Amino acid sequence: MIKKCVVLLSGGLDSSTCLAVANDAGFDCYTLSIDYGQRHLAELNASAAIAASMSKNPHQVVQINLDSIGGSALTDHDIEVPDFDDAQNEIPVTYVPARNTIFLSTALAYAEVVGAEAIYIGVTAVDYSGYPDCRAEYIQAFETMANLATKTGVEGNQLKIITPLIDLDKAQIIKLGDSLGFDYSKTVSCYNANANGEACGVCDSCHYRKKGFQEAGITDPTRYTQSS
Amino acid sequence: MIKKCVVLLSGGLDSSTCLAVANDAGFDCYTLSIDYGQRHLAELNASAAIAASMSKNPHQVVQINLDSIGGSALTDHDIEVPDFDDAQNEIPVTYVPARNTIFLSTALAYAEVVGAEAIYIGVTAVDYSGYPDCRAEYIQAFETMANLATKTGVEGNQLKIITPLIDLDKAQIIKLGDSLGFDYSKTVSCYNANANGEACGVCDSCHYRKKGFQEAGITDPTRYTQSS
């Protein structure tokens, strides 16, 4: 029997590379996107297109209205998304409270329903913008909790949280995806992407993406509305 | 400064007792309900009414369409809710995959936004219908994970998951709430409650509730459509 996994797909560069890696590892992939009140739908559209091209299973979208809770520039329209600031050492306002915990919890429910033995998530502790829920010790604690939380876990079928990108920087991630034949033109990373999927070129996420392609020596297929 | 907590409120007997306990402990309570595609809205309506009578803060509802994932009689309309079966030893079909994990994760996000130092959840390991995510070892693992997940946790402000009912049976819970002056007539426990908030009287949840009031020696204020 082919082993199954759930892949958390945001439509960005990291999670899409994760899907390519899971496919390459021989998993039957169930893609899952969370619609949590992001500022734009460009990444959800990208997720659906990427899922359709890389998995035969229906792409699943779960809606969670985190915008009602607020607290982040990514979901609260009263907080402005800042441009990249090299001197920034604090956790930025683009941090969404408990985001990966909510994403992984939803993936955990879906994994139990489809009978998946693994969840892939594209977190990276290198270019992680200071988000606490991208670190290996957090992922390990989630996995321990997950196996106490579910019927599947209690019955002895241990679930793994797989983070193939955790020790890679952006350039290494891009090289990895490129080596697996993945086409990055479909992905959207920008915090301010417009309805056409064009990137702002100046936010944190655009900064790391541009730098990644440069360092990888691979042509950046991103469509930017401005350059900096 | 008055300490704050988030209370997960389902509109049922347990979570409402939890809110009474948190109030009694001197917390400024932020109530949170999750609308996850339940079969009926009676419990959400009950939550709003109970919250309004016991907290000055706005009641928060987060919608998560878990019904799109399915896998439980409580969210999947193709699976029938069974009547109570005394001989049942397995985890029942009313089990919602990863429910408490998703609830606690959402509460974690809300706790970080409002600056709460605790989350109250009314799980009980006694009358727990065999749900794995109602056990103390699970709650402990969640708390450990939560403090690695968030900005607040990383900054050294440890969050506590408080489970005042975990060692209590239904009768003890009812006696506790009654001693705090809580009025159980507003609560809805039934898996099949109708639009008027009337209970079926025959599901697992009704069975435990009836038994609880009998054993506590307190009059059951529940309106049942049938008795068994």
Contact flag B109-A71 (C-beta cutoff 8 Å): yes
What is the rounded CA–CA span in Å between residue A209 and residue A189?
7
Is residue B120 scored above 60 in pLDDT? yes
Average pLDDT, chain A: 85
The percentage of residues in chain A with a pLDDT greater than 70, rounded to a whole number, is 84
Q: Which residues of A touch B106 (CB under 8 A)?
A: 64, 66, 69, 98, 102
Q: What pLDDT score was predicted for residue B87? A: 47
Residue A95 per-residue DSSP state: P
- Name the percent of chain A lying above pLDDT 90: 54
Ordered by where they begin, the domains of chain A are 4-188 (3.40.50.620)
Q: Would the CB atoms of B137 and A148 count as touching at under 8 Å?
A: yes
Of the candidates B46, B61, B92, B119, the residue with the CA atom closest to the CA atom of residue B207: B92
In terms of pLDDT, which residue wins out, B113 or B1?
B113
Q: Which candidate in B102, B104, B121 is best for mutational testing of the A interface (most A CBs within 10 A)?
A: B102
DSSP E strands: which ranges in chain B? 4-8, 28-35, 60-63, 118-120, 160-162
Query: Which of A66, A91, A105 is closest, CB to CB, to B101?
Result: A105
Please tell me which residue, B96 or A109, carries the higher pLDDT value: A109
Q: Which of B101, B104, B151 sits opposite A91 (nearest CB)?
A: B151
How is chain A split among helix, strand and coil, in percent rounded to 5? 40, 10, 50
Tens-digit pLDDT profile for residues B20-38: 999 999 999 999 999 987 6
Residues of chain B whose C-beta is under 8 A from some C-beta in A?
60-66, 68-71, 91, 95-102, 104-106, 108-110, 112-113, 132-133, 135, 137-138, 141-142, 144-146, 148-151, 153-154
pLDDT computed for residue A117 by the predictor: 96
Buried b (16+ CB within 10 A) or exposed e, A84-110: beeeeeeebebbbbbbbbbbbbbbbbb
Question: Is the Cβ pair A144, B149 closer than 8 Å?
Answer: no
Q: Which helix (H) or strand (E) holds A11?
A: none
ipTM for the predicted complex: 0.86
Report the pLDDT value the prediction gives residue A65, as an integer from 0 to 100.
85
Determine the pLDDT at residue B89: 46
Q: Which of A5-14, B89-98, B199-208 has the lowest mean pLDDT?
A: B89-98
| pLDDT above 50: residue B88 | no
A chain contacts of residue B58, beta-carbon cutoff 8 Å: none
Residues B178-210 as b or e (16 or more Cβ within 10 Å = b): beeebebebbbbbbbbeeebbbbbbbbbbbbbb
CB-CB under 8 Å, A137 with B141: no
Tens digits of per-residue pLDDT, B45-80?
Answer: 899 999 999 999 999 999 998 877 766 555 555 555
Determine the Cα–Cα distance for residues B96 and B93; give it in Å rounded to an integer: 8
Contact B141 A138 (CB under 8 A): no
pLDDT bucket at B204, cuts 50 / 70 / 90 = confident
Tell me how far apart the alpha carbons of residues A138 and A120 are, in angstroms, rounded to a whole number. 15
- Minimum Cα–Cα distance from A154: chain B residue: B132
The closest CB to that of A71, out of B101, B112, B133, belongs to B112
Averaged pLDDT, B185-194? 85
Q: What is the mean pLDDT of residues B105-128?
A: 90
Lowest mean pLDDT among A155-159, A188-192, B81-85: B81-85
Banded pLDDT at B216 (limits 50, 70, 90): very high
